[in-house]
Structure 1
Amino acid sequence: MSLKRNLNRALSAATGLEVRRAGSAPRVTPAPVTTPKPVKRPAPEYRCTDDPATDRLLRRPVFIMSPVRSGSTLLRMLLNAHSRLHSPHELHIRRLEVGYGSKLSERAMDALDLSRGDLEHLLWDRVLHRELVLSGKDVVVEKTPSNAFVYRRIRDCWPDARFVFLLRHPVSIARSWHEGDPEKRTYEEACADALRYMTAVDHARKGITGGHTLRYEELTTDPEGRLRALCAFLGVDFEPSMLAYGERDGTQLQKGLGDWRDKIRTGSVQAGRPLPEDDEVPEVLRPISKAWGYLK
């Protein structure tokens, strides 16, 4: 038995190491690093609260159900200029999820009759309530477009919630969605993608009673009249300051929309482009255009 083998036997027994000639170890090619795709968890079960006074901090929150590129940012700013209405940027609360760190915590929550869905609703409510308290106002208005995909959960989470449905001509939505990032999606892809949001909003309109429907084209041609009607639905007085939104806000977004402020005040704002003709509506958008009254 060679000296090297004896040495390695003794060294391995004592330290777990071995002596090797430099360069003798085989070269190992590392495996390519792949990022696993996130696994989408199924929607959790939850119960509809029968005691909102205990389970919820918010009272009568408002949710704007709208497709992408339908004017929800403009509406948010108009409403946020009201002394009683706080409409923050999109909060995407539906993406806030709760998980159990252990089986013990899961069993503890079960003992309190709180499922994962119930805990998520508590979290959503607390986040929105905190945002409202920090604003110093009375009513929170949340406008994330993807909320339409979970309108049932939002309705069940806040039984006293109020809903505003903001519509726009489907072709105008699709064109704006495409022009916002033409390298990311073709016009045809924009039509199909935006239609998902439109369909979700349409389902919400049919599934929720007592909501208020507002059209972008009406808002931009008769802002004061449309806002007065919306304020009446929300139970607040119309304030002329809503038509002068952004004068005290120096953010870049507000600066970019400065022209809108002046045009809204004078009533000269237009929808930005003529409404599409019927023959401009692609086949994929014709059913929703007809359902929303945009096809003759």
Structure 2
Amino acid sequence: MAVECADVESTVFEVVDELLDSIDGDFEGELFPQMRLIADAGFSSIDFVQMTVMIEEQLGEKIGFQDMLMRDGQYVQDLTLGEVIAFTESRLRKPAAASAAVTAPSAPAPAVGRYEGQKVTAQDVAAFTQLIKPRRVGPSGGAQRKNKRAVFVLSPPRSGSTLLRVMIAGNPALFAPPELHLLSYATMDERRADLNTEHSEHLLDGAVRALMHTRGWTGDQARQFIGECEASGTSTREFFGSLQENLGNRLLVDKTPTYAFSVDILRQAEEYFEDALYIHLIRHPCGMIRSYEESNLTRMMPLMMKNSDFSTAALAEMIWLVSNRNILQFSESVASDRWLSVSYENIVTDPEGNMRRLCDFLDVPYDDDMINPYGDNKARMTDGVDSASKMSGDLKFHLHRQIDPAAATRWRQFCSEDRLGAETMELISKLDADVASIRA
């Protein structure tokens, strides 16, 4: 056993203390084993996941916290610090333990908004689109030389794009860093000005992590280079090119779900790159909505849109609807041989078949490491630059040990298509015809 159980309590206390400094909770005073992480500390579900990733990082052990956080397919209602410590110690004593050391009731219902329980209408969608913040993207045309080919994974948030990115990163012919958040801005200084806030500053680190990996730099060296780019007003087009300089023949793959919030942003890929390739990742909206509610992604909404009275579920549904509409509209301007539609449901139920299909599309050899995404964190850039609590992408990825085919339809335990609006149902039918799987 690499870690003594005596070290667990101090590690858990240290991690929770660090997280409390970064969230807007009301807890003050000393930590104690009976402290409840939701009721007392103000944790959300994403804080739970950040906690588990940080514990594993500090202990240097893969614990596998999924069983602690979920019972009967639902997230627990609350946990005490003592329960987290006991579970961690039990897993260190028995790494292959199949069951959780704690039991807890099911997760509480999502926060109720003004539109909770009502189906999303066309009028709602129109109002929602007015909430999305506009972006000043780079100028069109001109004499600037395009960067060499790159690949873009296009999807709404919570569609399985982190899993797909990490699978892609297992192929030595491809370079798939964490979310870059570049296309959405004309220049690097505009990018920093928009993302450098309490809840979004970690989104700046995808570019840092990419430079660290390609140039062998430390985080400080990469940040210094980016700072120089920001100070000089370097365009995001030029920064993309600097990332590609050290890739050799490897293809750059950018997975940033917020690109789909705007057709204008998506069009930048055609402006910036020579014959870019696109992977449209599709997930059933109920699966995406369920994941969105669990992750408390509304915390990130000030980055992308103005505040609203829509419920969490309604917001998630409209993000799914508008993002996929934008992607489909953009696809009409792209040659069919540069476009591939895949589904999250197919990926988790047939990983190898879908990775072979993806490799054929990208014209690269298939590699078995693509279907083993939960190892080699540094090579796949699933570790944070400074801390596991400052990572972009889906932190829930770290709860798993292997690809779970049951994830394709787990949402059916909690929600039904009956809750969805007519426009969403219409788009489901269209997308399902494209990939023949999301309603399987």
Q: TM-score, normalised by structure 1?
A: 0.66
Aligned length: 231
Residue 279 of structure 1 deviates from its aligned partner by 3.0
Distance 1:183 1:234 in 2: 34
Q: Are 2:308 and 1:180 equivalent residues in the alignment?
A: no
> 1:81 touches 1:246 (CA, 8 Å); kept in 2?
no
Give 1:288's aligned amino acid. Answer: L
Tell me which residue corresponds to 1:46.
140
Alignment match of 1:123 (pick from 221, 226, 235): 235
Distance 2:259 2:374 in 1: 25
Q: Are 2:260 and 1:144 equivalent residues in the alignment?
A: no
> 1:171 touches 1:285 (CA, 8 Å); kept in 2?
no
SS of the aligned residue for 1:195 comes to helix
Residue 133 of structure 1 deviates from its aligned partner by 4.1
Residue 173 of structure 1 deviates from its aligned partner by 1.6
Residue 199 of structure 1 deviates from its aligned partner by 1.8
SS of the aligned residue for 2:318 comes to helix
Q: Which moved more, 1:231-240 or 1:141-150?
A: 141-150
User: Between the two proteins, what is the percent identity of the paired residues?
Assistant: 24
Tell me which residue corresponds to 1:291.
430
Tell me which residue corresponds to 2:282.
167
Give 1:271's aligned amino acid. Answer: A
Tell me which residue corresponds to 1:83.
172
Tell me which residue corresponds to 1:190.
316
Q: 1:94 to 1:279 in 2, by over 3 A?
A: same
The structure with the largest alpha-carbon Rg is 1
Distance 2:298 2:277 in 1: 37
Tell me which residue corresponds to 1:271.
408
Q: Are 2:273 and 1:158 equivalent residues in the alignment?
A: yes
Q: 1:174 to 1:270 in 2, by over 3 A?
A: closer
> 2:187 touches 2:236 (CA, 8 Å); kept in 1?
no
Alignment match of 1:232 (pick from 351, 354, 360): 360
Tell me which residue corresponds to 1:55.
145
Aligned ranges 1:249-268 → 2 under 5 Å = 249=377, 251=383, 252=388, 257=397, 260-263=400-403
Distance 2:249 2:136 in 1: 35
Alignment match of 1:222 (pick from 321, 346, 350): 350
Tell me which residue corresponds to 1:69.
158
SS of the aligned residue for 1:94 comes to coil
Residue 209 of structure 1 deviates from its aligned partner by 2.3
Contiguous gaps of at least 5 residues in structure 2? 1-132, 189-232, 300-310, 433-437
Distance 1:204 1:286 in 2: 21
Distance 1:158 1:136 in 2: 16
Q: 1:259 to 1:97 in 2, by over 3 A?
A: closer
Q: 1:138 to 1:179 in 2, by over 3 A?
A: same
Distance 1:125 1:194 in 2: 27
Distance 2:239 2:135 in 1: 22
Give 1:224's aligned amino acid. Answer: E
> 2:184 touches 2:259 (CA, 8 Å); kept in 1?
no
Give 1:144's aligned amino acid. Answer: T
Distance 2:354 2:135 in 1: 40
> 1:231 touches 1:237 (CA, 8 Å); kept in 2?
yes
Distance 2:237 2:137 in 1: 18
Distance 2:267 2:397 in 1: 33
Tell me which residue corresponds to 2:181.
92
Residue 46 of structure 1 deviates from its aligned partner by 2.1
Residue 295 of structure 1 deviates from its aligned partner by 6.8
Give 1:47's aligned amino acid. Answer: G
